[in-house]
Chain A
Amino acid sequence: MPAEPTLFARIVAPPGPGTNSLRRALLQMRARVAVDWPEPDPLPSAGDVLMAVYAPDLHRRVPWMPGQAPLALVVLIPAGRTASAEVLRLAGCDAVLPHPAPSEVVAPTIQVARDKFRYEGRLRGRIDKLEETLRSVRTVERAKAILMAERNMSEDEAYALLRARAMERCVTVGAVATALLDSHDILKAT
């Protein structure tokens, strides 16, 4: 069974007991940990999870475009401090933790944040793929119609042929259909 890749956690918080106990909890999860302080501006974007201490301008220091975050963001809220829900929303926060955090909630919070973050990534990928499929459905329909007319095939046979050619070439059925239509147009035009 392949080993789970090591989690790379970035902490952006001032040194102190809270940050030390957070670091220890992460190391117990066998994570690789880097602590950045003084507070870098912009915030780091390499790694799997960024744990940044709350600040009223946090949303302005997030370096990525909204909707294109490269890692999960967990915001650490210092004890006794009030965090603005609007700042957390605009920063694209995936979870919050009190700072210092009880060690037993660190691992589950990070797991929930990463799980949600990766799920959003999969949904975005699925939407991209669906949009492409929707566009190519009509191309595939036309390619099938050409095969049915010119090779006297049934609809199922025409689709099976397109699919077989796609499998052989390791491309999508849509790409095979586009190639077929292009060559058909060229022959018609000459």
Chain B
Amino acid sequence: MDGLDDGPWRVGVLFSNTGFMAVIERTQIQGTLAAIEEINAAGGVAGRPLQPVIYDPASEPANFARCARRMMVEDQVRSIFGCYTSSSRKAVLPVVERLNGLLWYPTVYEGFEFSPNVVYTGASPNQTCVVLCQYLMPRFGPRFFFVGSDYVYPRETNRIMRELIGANGGTVVGERYLPLWAPRRDFRAAMAEIRAAQPDVIFSTVVGESTTYLYQSYADLGMDPKVMPIASITTTEAEIAAMGHDVGEGHFTAAPYFASVDNPRNAEFVRRLQARYGSDVSLNMCFEAAYFQVHVFARALAEANTTDTDLLRPFVMRTEIEAPQGRIAVNPLTGHTDLWARIGRCNRRGQFDLVMQSTRALRADPYLVGTGRTFGECVA
């Protein structure tokens, strides 16, 4: 009955600080802790501070399940902010479902899932893949090559992309998957294979450290992003910083948030975080989603006055806040979040110039039920 206690509200923070996913997951740790710090500095929730319980699952899905269990069984945690890869989310899912916890998942993913024990605050395919295809096909051409890390998210995302491309008169000229821990030389070979297939666009679902190898191999082969760009929904400012700004220049990413988003709320967000963490802090969609979801949690907690999942969740499901990306809302029908759709082209400073953005948050459609097959029918 934590609503009657006067101690801190315990919350889990479950992202990898080590291993091959650490580059991006560290930004989610930082986003989560930045929001917790802000909320505590403003007096906490109902006068009680948020107390993070932090474990490092070291990029290993089985560790995610073990740590989630430890948080819920040993540390009396009900809400866990965590997970980047779909494999880690799938590992944590049975734990939070059986013990009735709430996983706050701030990562773009492949959709086709709904658990009452997850709040999905990253983008669904209709908020990313659809707009990306819609933008790129008329400008670069209809021939796509898929390259991805070998696990559930890239394969499922490509299943959706293949359908979208096919329904709009395009073709997939090749598909290649590499292990998450694949060495640099494997990417050289893959990129040579891609070049030989002569696609118009390379669609990448490569994640983690190997994102650097993919883009660097592209640059090493002297390929030109003006002719055959890499398009992604996971390559953020953090990966660009890791690979080198010149290497990322000219390539495209679709995301709800870029640090370059032009609105007063984001200007204030960027200013405050740069003052707190230094001007080289990597603000990206993962940081922002990890950040705003803690504020959604705090808003719902203030109303529910308990972290008990059954009592807290109904308040989460109707929460709307002004996030750095713009106004967003957790959709009570799906447990997913209505988010903005944007496409950025990476510039020489490692930031994204916006080339397209929606005029409002797009309704999340994780099962692509209301999303048409051809672009003419799409909500974007």
A interface residue numbers (CB < 8 A to B): 59-60, 65-68, 89-90, 92, 131, 134-135, 138-139, 142, 181, 185, 188-189
Query: Per a CB cutoff under 8 Å, which of A89, A139, A189 touches B143?
Result: A189
A60 to chain B, nearest CB (A): 7
Query: Per a CB cutoff under 8 Å, which of A65, A68, A134, A189 touches B172?
Result: A189
Say yes or no: B99 contacts A189, CB within 8 Å: no
Interface positions of B from 133 to 172, Cβ below 8 Å from A: 143, 156, 159, 162-163, 166-167, 171-172
Q: A60-B73, A66-B69, A135-B159 are in contact. Are A189 and B173 (CB under 8 A)?
A: yes
Say yes or no: A185 contacts B73, CB within 8 Å: no
Query: Per a CB cutoff under 8 Å, which of B97, B112, B167, B171 touches A188?
Result: B171
Question: Contacts of A89 on B, CB cut-off 8 Å?
Answer: 99
CB nearest to A92 among chain B residues: B98
Secondary structure of the B contact surface, majority rule: helix
A131 to B86, CA, bound (A): 15
A-B contact pairs, 7 of them (CB 8 A): A60-B74, A66-B69, A66-B72, A66-B95, A135-B112, A139-B163, A185-B172
Interface positions of B from 101 to 126, Cβ below 8 Å from A: 112-113
Query: Per a CB cutoff under 8 Å, which of A60, A68, A131, A185 touches B112?
Result: A131
B interface residue numbers (CB < 8 A to A): 65-66, 69, 72-74, 93-95, 97-99, 112-113, 143, 156, 159, 162-163, 166-167, 171-173, 367-368
In addition to A131-B112, A138-B368, 19 A-B residue pairs with Cβ atoms within 8 Å of each other are A65-B66, A65-B95, A66-B69, A66-B72, A66-B94, A66-B95, A67-B97, A68-B94, A90-B72, A90-B73, A131-B113, A134-B112, A142-B163, A181-B162, A185-B172, A188-B171, A189-B143, A189-B171, A189-B172
B80 to chain A, nearest CB (A): 13
Question: Contacts of A188 on B, CB cut-off 8 Å?
Answer: 171
B154 to chain A, nearest CB (A): 14
Say yes or no: B113 contacts A90, CB within 8 Å: no
A134 to B171, CA, bound (A): 23
Say yes or no: A90 contacts B99, CB within 8 Å: yes
Say yes or no: B94 contacts A67, CB within 8 Å: yes
Question: Contacts of B69 on A, CB cut-off 8 Å?
Answer: 65-66
Question: Contacts of A181 on B, CB cut-off 8 Å?
Answer: 162, 166
Question: Contacts of B94 on A, CB cut-off 8 Å?
Answer: 65-68
CB nearest to B62 among chain A residues: A65
B109 to chain A, nearest CB (A): 13
Question: Contacts of A135 on B, CB cut-off 8 Å?
Answer: 112, 156, 159
A15 to chain B, nearest CB (A): 29
A134 to B167, CA, bound (A): 19
Query: Per a CB cutoff under 8 Å, which of B65, B113, B163 touches A138?
Result: B163
Give the residue among A66, A138, A139, A189 with the most B Cβ atoms within 10 A.
A66
Say yes or no: A139 contacts B74, CB within 8 Å: no
